[in-house]
Structure 1
């Protein structure tokens, strides 16, 4: 895997560029860097959710695995020929989603983010994840128009499934913590 930093500041980015894992330098505002940053921010938001949950919470092992996978996903974006995210990772999220969804009532209306502090953190993580999803989709479209290695559809599937998982996790946590889902009321 790419270069390792022995010190945090290198001064190489002072010119507005940054290095990918293979040493190629690109603009810090490049769509690839935006995608990497959005995935990193998603991981941070998941970390905040983890911090809001009890250590013995049933979601903890799943969220830990998700955080590691988000690092893998960022690694793939940083090294386009490096493949760590697999189709079965999205399938695993679907299985977790199904387990959580089985205990939830059917959703008949939009809900407002909140319900408890942990549920609000899950909603925040979901919203940040949706941004990462949009950026990865834009990067994939841009890659298709260039000579660069394309962003694999597996990454888009994983991040899409993750945002769904975080939504259902928010609903689960809100109910479990005694909070109530607040239904959206149009025009209030």
Structure 2
């Protein structure tokens, strides 16, 4: 594969517009650009989570989550080039299989949990919440310009996977989940 970027700055966005893969120029706050930005933020935070997953028992998480960075990049490509389709249902099935496998180890969730306990658990929850935000931005775009493909389903399932991953990290680190405690009623 040849070089994709020969120059990092182009000056074409200095007036608040950016170009899409199909040649259109749109404002930088267009719903499509908002969705791309949220997916990019999620991908960056997922990279941070992966950088911390080096302890015993966490290799499986790396094996499942590392490909998600590539798929998020694919989703960004789909958003930048509306006729391009990279994701397929096989990827959703891969996420669902991991969720099912990990849930067997975890058992049922008995209460709401808070995002914490360790830096890794908290980072997994940051990724989960960013996946939800990316999903909302993609849905906002979908309402204006309908999206083809399985991108919405993928990002939804990824947020589920990240929730289960946060629980699994806690379990494998030997850290108890922080259970939500309702405010005392007067």
TM-score range, shorter chain: over 0.9
Quote the offset at 1:23 in angstroms.
2.3
Aligned to 1:35: 35
Output aligned runs, 1:12-161, within 5 Å: 12-54=12-54, 57-143=59-145, 150-152=146-148, 154-161=150-157
What do residues 133-185 of structure 1 show as CA deviations (whole Å, max 9, x unaligned)?
01111111111xxxxxx312511100000000000000000111111101100
Report the aligned-residue RMSD.
1.5
Task: Determine the C-alpha separation between the residues in 2 that align with 1:174 and 1:142.
Answer: 40
User: After superposition, what is the alpha-carbon deviation per residue over 1:12-36, rounded to whole angstroms, capped at 9, x for unaligned?
Assistant: 1001001112221110000000000
* Structure 2 counterpart of 1:9: 9
Deviates more, 1:175-184 or 1:55-64: 55-64
Deviations 1:17-56 (A, max 9, x none): 0111222111000000000000001101110110111077
Aligned length: 180
Gaps of 5+ in 1: 144-149
Gap runs ≥5 in structure 2: none
TM superposition shift of 1:110: 0.7
TM-score, normalisation: structure 2: 0.92
The CA distance in 2 between the partners of 1:23 and 1:62, in whole Å, is 35
| Alignment TM-score, normalising by the size of structure 1 | 0.91
Residue number in structure 2 paired with 1:176: 172
Runs of 4+ in 1 over 4 A off after TM superposition: none
Distance 1:104 1:34 in 2: 35
* 1:26 match: secondary structure: strand
